[in-house]
Amino acid sequence: MPPPALAWQNAPMQKRRLRQSFVLLAAAAFVVAACGTSTRTLAPSSTAGASVRASARASAGASAGASASAAASPGGSPNAADQVVYAKIEAEIEAIRGLQHKSTVTPVLLDSNGVRNWLVKANAAQTDHAALANESKLFSHLGLLPAGSSLEQMELDLEAGQVVGFYDPVSKGLYVLSDSGGVGPVQKITFSHEYTHTLQDQAFGLGKLAIDTPDQGDRDLARTALPEGDATLAMTLWATRNMSLSDLTAVAMESLSGPQTDQLAKAPKILRETLMFPYQDGLKFVQGIHDKGGWAAVDRLYTNPPDSTSQILHPDLYANRVKPVAVEVPVVPAALGNGWKLTMQDTLGELQLRIWLEGGSGSANSSSAAAGAVSSWAGDRAALYEGPNGQWVVVLNTAWHSSTGRDAFDAAATLTLDGLGSQYRLCGDSTHVNIAIASSETLVPEFIACNTMG
């Protein structure tokens, strides 16, 4: 399996979800250990990528960060000998990344219970629980989660089992998992990643990326991929230059054993793949920029960060400044009467639409077909409407760069919708596909008008 995750925390605000990072997944560490010394072979394959889990979690302010830190015990500073080790890694990362620290950051060591306590405390203080509950319902209606699932609890449990380190830009704290209190290969590689986040924060201000905006899920994922891909590349270069073969093997072995492996493998695909994305695809994206323009080109990304997962998956879209198309969803139809509301809306984006089309099989063929069906993504908007007596409607309006891309998504979406067991209608024009899914067939025509009924 992948090694546990590392993370950075986002700027203060009530988060829709508790994203722990600019997290580096242990998976990323595993990729380094598996790939050896060539940075051009480091982009994770679909198999290796499963070991990389990404998650960005925000902090609810300095006071919340401080209280969360205090709750995470036992914990403490490294001893004098270990401080020398960390100082050496700091100098090596600064030389690789081309950034100099502006203030000193001393890592805090936490055992597994300490990490979980910190995350639980942060989750309670930082998360918009109602918004995340609504997202759980949206995902359930789309078939991405089992009915009645709590996305918040799933994310918290997964992170608590995977995290090996994280950086909190609010309190400026850097935390490393060490049950023994010592510094082994995993702690070293974790620190190299998290220390890169401290340099990013001091140089560019991670909070300026505005990650975890309540109704911009796709943009959040794309912008998370920037610092995570950056830190994963820096970590990779550090590890291949400074870790011995035996240390790299130890990282790989630790990543491929233990209950974390099963936990990650059993997580719902929508959770697992969105957690992995910032490391797996973020690394590819940042490495491509680095290959062409060095670290100076990577630095410039922070002044104009990506706006969609489509730009991460297709770097030419970012280079050509192809922005997502604005897509709207309907207001609550007056004909429905009182008791109806627009509960939430968000942009799913190319990545999450691909996961939706893949279904549960996860086979190479289904993944490839789904990727092809969303490769012409131009924009989308998903909305959840709720009414009396448990009635609900999900509207998914999408835009595509070409009629061919539109047709490919139309065909794939029809197959996915047929498997949901809910009433739906799908229609559109040459570059749009609009979908309404509902708890009752009578509700569908109120939200979408076309001649084709699913």
User: pLDDT tier at 315 (50, 70, 90 boundaries)?
Assistant: very high
Planar angle of CA 389, 393, 395, nearest 5 degrees: 165
Do 225 and 175 reside in the same domain of the chain?
yes
Asked whether the predicted pLDDT for residue 180 surpasses 80, the reply is yes
User: pLDDT tier at 228 (50, 70, 90 boundaries)?
Assistant: very high
User: pLDDT tier at 1 (50, 70, 90 boundaries)?
Assistant: very low
pLDDT score at 375: 97
Do 377 and 412 reside in the same domain of the chain?
yes
Name the least confident of 73-77, 151-155, 364-368, 400-404: 73-77
Range of the domain at 100: 5-316
Do 343 and 378 reside in the same domain of the chain?
yes
Rounded to the nearest integer, the mean pLDDT of the chain is: 83
Asked whether the predicted pLDDT for residue 11 surpasses 90, the reply is no
Amino acid at 192: S
Do 312 and 339 reside in the same domain of the chain?
no
Do 386 and 305 reside in the same domain of the chain?
no
Phi then psi for residue 96, to 5 deg, are -70, -50
Name the least confident of 15-29, 171-185, 232-246, 251-265: 15-29
Asked whether the predicted pLDDT for residue 111 surpasses 90, the reply is yes
State the CB neighbour count (10 A cutoff) for residue 152. Answer: 20
Do 178 and 237 reside in the same domain of the chain?
yes
Q: What's the number of domains the chain is made of?
A: 2
Q: What is the 8-class DSSP label of residue 97?
A: H
pLDDT score at 408: 97
Structural domain includes residue 453: no
Asked whether the predicted pLDDT for residue 285 surpasses 70, the reply is yes
**Residue 324 preceded by cis peptide, ω within 30:** no
Asked whether the predicted pLDDT for residue 373 surpasses 60, the reply is yes
Last residue of a domain, one of 316, 346, 381: 316
2 close to 50: Cβ distance less than 8 angstroms: yes
**Alpha-helical runs (H) found in 307-420:** 309-313, 315-319, 349-358, 364-374, 403-418
Q: CATH code at 427?
A: 3.30.1710
Closest C-alpha among 221, 225, 338 to residue 280: 225
- DSSP helix/strand/coil, 329: coil
Do 266 and 367 reside in the same domain of the chain?
no
Phi then psi for residue 150, to 5 deg, are -110, 105
Planar angle of CA 263, 52, 396, nearest 5 degrees: 85
User: pLDDT tier at 41 (50, 70, 90 boundaries)?
Assistant: very low
Q: Tell me the angle at which helices 217-242 and 185-204 cross, rounded to the nearest 10 degrees.
A: 130
100-110 mean pLDDT: 94
Do 247 and 377 reside in the same domain of the chain?
no
Interval 382-406: pLDDT, tens = 999 999 999 999 999 999 999 999 9
Do 115 and 81 reside in the same domain of the chain?
yes
350-373 mean pLDDT: 85
Planar angle of CA 107, 95, 115, nearest 5 degrees: 20
Half-sphere exposure of 158 (CA within 13 A, CB side): 35
Last residue of a domain, one of 284, 316, 348: 316
pLDDT score at 312: 98
Asked whether the predicted pLDDT for residue 40 surpasses 70, the reply is no
Structural domain includes residue 327: no
User: pLDDT tier at 142 (50, 70, 90 boundaries)?
Assistant: very high
Do 28 and 75 reside in the same domain of the chain?
yes
Structural domain includes residue 328: no
Last residue of a domain, one of 275, 290, 316: 316
User: pLDDT tier at 169 (50, 70, 90 boundaries)?
Assistant: confident
Do 303 and 377 reside in the same domain of the chain?
no
Asked whether the predicted pLDDT for residue 435 surpasses 90, the reply is yes
More confident residue, 390 or 170: 390
Query: What does pTM read for this prediction?
Result: 0.86
Asked whether the predicted pLDDT for residue 213 surpasses 50, the reply is yes
Do 94 and 198 reside in the same domain of the chain?
yes
pLDDT score at 35: 55
Structural domain includes residue 454: no
Share of the chain above pLDDT 90, in %: 63
